[in-house]
Chain A
Amino acid sequence: MLALLAQGQATQLPVRIPEIAWSAISPELVLFGAGILVLLLDTAGDSRLQSSFLVAGAVVAGAVLLGVQTEQLPAAWALGVGGLTQFVLTAIWRDRPRLLEALLAALGFAATAAVTAWQWATYAGEVVGPEGLALVGSRSAIGGMVAVDGVALFTRVTVCAAGLVTVLLGYAYAEERRIHRGEYYPLVLFAATGMNLLAASADLIMVFISIEILSLSLYILCGFAKRDLHSQEAALKYFLLGAFSSALLLYGVALVYGVAGSTNVTDAGRALASLDAPRGASLAAMGLLLVGFGFKTALVPFHMWTPDVYQGAPTPVTGFMAAATKAAAFAAFLRVFVGAFGTLQWSWVPVVWLVAAVTMIVGAVLAVVQIDIKRMLGYSAIAHAGYVSIGLIAVSRDGVSATLFYLLAYALMSLGAFGVLALLERRSHRALAIHDLRGLGKSHPLPAIMLALFLVSLAGVPGTAGFMAKFAVFRAGVQAGQAALVVIGVVSSVIAAFFYLRVIVAMFMEDEPADAAQQPPLEFPASLSAGLALSAAAVVALGILPGAVVNLARQAATVVG
């Protein structure tokens, strides 16, 4: 035994412990911390206040230690204030655990956004791009595991915005459907942690791990309405196909490691592009990675799960998946393919081109024949994934910034649309078909106008965020010489406009069904209304004066490598 140990010391296994730059993953730490805290307070039951007190004590002690040891006073203060805030809130609302949890989750998202803003302030301007643009730097930290680049930071903002709105939408909805259990908020927070981490992974292993973190949380969230068969079906289907795609992705990672000897995306990209890389294995590796990303971003032909899952999952969860998962998965897609495999364009651009074209057309055409609105929006999400891919295929700085902008705009408008549906489902207690919305414009003008706004934005009519987003990706596409793909996007947009219009027609141009009077009146819970108002305001603001956000997206067009 001793000999063995001595031998071990003698050979000096080269285990290098990287310097861990905690600041690089500070947004994830905040989210994760908030998740653990909410989980703790939920399980603590009657001893909630005591637990909160202990947490506050521990956190404040940690903050003091941090302040004394490393002299990072701002971080220490933030930590301390956070610890105390949660105690104060718990003291006030200790008898209303759901409200408390929702509040803490919302604060968690807000704090994460704030931390991201701090990161932005730190890293923006590291690189000065064309036209004197203060680009966000493109570094990696923690031994090349985590990227600190524009794509990561911008996507974090998108995910946090989506998470915040989701919490607002979910509170009243879950209450109403009697599926309001304490796990909801921690799961949303953990899923968001995974998404943020995915958006920041600079290593294929990190990609895999973060996809697993977000997926596991989402599987449960999908099946959250456990008495609803559709919800169960959605969860199971998502789980099975998700596991399948994860396996394919992992196999791709293994092949990349086999060829490149590294799972770091930058190193892997360099190795795969080198002349002595085995062509077949490289292509197979990239193909498998593409399949893995295709599943998560719902590109045709890897979209099969999307309509069923979107239809069955509780509506706020659907909105969260559509908005945030897509943003995070595309961020990783961008970093791996546009960033690392940028020099291998010749090999993957034609494939993604075809996938994008088929996605846009299939998504739009299949949406036309749907009756269930959530399912229709599911297919529309597929079509939108196709539009986003145009920005990806451009393989340019403008393409990256267009993609980021599109994902933010899409997050807001799709969350808004699902939010209105959540509001309406509260009344009908069942899935909504298009004909259920007949006469809504007359009986309830406000939600009808909001839904119309979000749908018009999804269709890309000027004056809304959807137009500016579409303009951005089309612009990037034409710039990259992909005018043909853009024309396909145009055709798809027109088909898509048809089914969005159909909903608007039902709401404003058809009369209310006869049994509408028997339905209970529509209520407007404060949290849901706030979430909707927030998204609607953002959709209009981005549609009319997008300048500031466009600038951020342009600054954020940096990828590690």
Chain B
Amino acid sequence: MLSALVVVPALTAGVVGLLPASRRQAIRVTALAGSALTFALSLAVLASFQVGEAGFQLTERAQWVPQWGITYRVGVDGISLLLVLLTTFLMPLAVLAAWEQRERPNWFFAALLAMEAGLVGVFIALDLILFYAFFEAQLVPMYALIGIWGAGNRRYSAIKFFLYTFIGGLLMLVAILYLYFAAGATSFDYDVVGRVALTGTEQTLLFLAFFTAFAIKVPLFPFHTWLPDAHTDAPTVGSVILAAVLLKIGGYGFLRFCLPYFPEATIRLAPLVLALGVVGVLYGALVAMMQRDIKRLVAYSSVAHLGFVVIGVFALTDTGAAGGVVQMVNHGLSTGALFLLVGFIYDRTHSRDIPDYSGLAAAAPRLGGLFLVTAMSSIALPGLNGFVGEFPILLGAYENVSARWAAVVAAFGVILAALYLLWAYQRMFHGPVEGRSSEVSDLSAREVAIMVPIVALMVAIGLYPKPLYDRVNPSVAEVVRTVTSDARVAETQPPREEGS
């Protein structure tokens, strides 16, 4: 069943890509049908997922390249389940948002669906090489989305995006190979590779290799410089998927690989990572405040929000890590929605300059209302989804004495978030209808239809996050337990001998 989540979008991508560009209706209907079917399948996965269990479920296994120890193995635990659902939920909406795509729609939707296949693959892969293959393969469609259908300095942004991730990924590949041979060179299976005992130096170096790959993805300060460019120049849907799902590979990777594989190094380097997270929170917020370009503002807000996620994960407490996972979902929803709304405005006026607008709330009330709710969700107003993620993160960080300072400092980030988003909202939506605002017609039925499910989910999660935490908690607790207990065990055991 899990494999179908990869196969269906991949096949749809193939079909859509082969249709002639002139048959736009057939193309977009097929794309929508494929992504909707994938979402339906993911709901079936959700239904058959056993709540309260930590391990991988619904696993599937097949031979791939047995000579090299590569298997095809997929499965989900609570962490990946939520991220898979986030991907499959947003993808039909993204297809709807790109409904009017006129330039080479066949390739556009093919790239979108290929990306869905790659992203779901990343989250469900339980073989390190399979994971790496998906990790790199989803680069190509995103690269195409930015480079072909983007705006502004799109070619530069596309190449930058590709190369940043590519180098991180290749370093990770070397680390994967090292782990494989250290573990006896039998299999790249997630569980087999993770069982190897490593010396302190090995742990640190390998941790850094994995960490770099994921820190670039997150993106963590100072690896974030590709993000504003990629976001600004990507087409709306590209930005949505990039922010909502692609960045989550980073947080997911930390939890899936960095923590359980290298517990000692995690504990040793956690303060450094926390510091980078805190810097990201504050720096992202401050830079966002200074932006004139609303899309860039949202992009920098991602740096800040994902700083929170990193703090949650590296707080090394159950509460913090679970909050981190839920916050990834929340950020996906709220930032995805923000990019969609910004895209709607941009479609109408082709301007992203904040000073170009004033009084949008009066000119386009539906737009104004939805933007306000989304901004509030992003600010983490209690009652909306942002709060139920950010609050446990801060709580979790506070619980861990050595991470307490991070919680205290990062809390200011919450205030800054309110500042930059509300300030932008005030400038653009309040006041008399001036500038280009008069060109902005209110949202169409299609656009409202895209936003309603997202906003409904924001409210639902904000009021009743228990279903999410029920699924995440056991898996996250398992990861945190691995780190905290294994580190102690490792200290008492002699390090592995050289060359064994």
Contacts and interface: CB of A to CB of B under 8 A. Distances in A.
B423 interface: no
A432 interface: no
B66 A547 contact: yes
B155 A510 contact: yes
A508 to B, nearest CB: 5
Contact of A505 (B133, B159, B167): B159
A475 B136 contact: no
Interface stretch (B172-180, B324-332, B384-392, B411-419): B172-180
Interface string B152-181: 001100110011001100110110011011
A391 to B, nearest CB: 13
Interface in B196-210: none
A531 to B, nearest CB: 22
A474 B170 CA distance: 10
A456 interface: yes
Contact of A474 (B163, B167, B174): B174
A550 B181 contact: no
Interface stretch (B40-48, B140-148, B268-276): B140-148
B155 to A, nearest CB: 5
Contacts of B155: 505, 509-510
A222 B275 CA distance: 60
B456 interface: no
B170 A490 contact: yes
B132 interface: yes
Interface residues of B, number: 36
Interface stretch (A41-49, A74-82, A491-499): A491-499
B129 interface: yes
B492 interface: no
B64 A547 contact: yes
A479 interface: yes
Contacts of B180: 475, 478
A451 to B, nearest CB: 14
Tell me the interface secondary structure of chain B in the complex.
Answer: helix
A153 interface: no
Contacts of B162: 497, 501
A165 interface: no
B185 interface: yes
B324 to A, nearest CB: 28
Contacts of A85: none
B178 A478 contact: yes
B139 A461 contact: yes
Interface in A431-463: 441-442, 456, 461-463
A508 B148 contact: yes
A461 B142 CA distance: 14
Nearest to A487: B174
Contacts of A56: none
B137 interface: yes
Contact of A471 (B66, B68, B147): B68
A97 interface: no
Interface in B59-76: 63-68
B144 A474 contact: no
Given A509-B155, A547-B64, A479 B185 contact: yes
Nearest to A442: B104
Nearest to A506: B155
Given A483-B174, A490-B170, A554-B67, A508 B129 contact: no
Contact of A479 (B65, B132, B181): B181
A490 B167 contact: yes
Interface residues of A, number: 35
Contacts of B64: 545, 547
Contacts of B163: 494, 497-498, 501
A467 interface: yes
A31 interface: no
Nearest to B106: A445
A472 interface: yes
B185 A501 contact: no
Contact of A462 (B132, B147, B167): B132
B409 to A, nearest CB: 35
Interface of B: 63-68, 104, 129, 132-134, 136-137, 139-140, 143-144, 147-148, 154-155, 158-159, 162-163, 166-167, 170-171, 173-174, 177-178, 180-181, 185
Closest 4 CB pairs of A and B: A462-B133, A478-B177, A490-B170, A509-B147
Given A490-B171, A494-B170, A550-B68, 15 more contacts: A462-B133, A463-B137, A472-B68, A474-B177, A486-B174, A490-B170, A498-B163, A501-B163, A508-B144, A508-B148, A509-B158, A510-B155, A547-B65, A547-B67, A554-B67
29 contacts: A441-B148, A442-B104, A461-B136, A467-B133, A467-B136, A471-B68, A471-B129, A472-B68, A474-B173, A475-B180, A478-B181, A479-B181, A490-B167, A493-B166, A493-B170, A494-B166, A497-B166, A498-B159, A501-B158, A508-B144, A508-B147, A509-B154, A509-B155, A510-B155, A546-B65, A547-B65, A547-B67, A550-B68, A554-B67
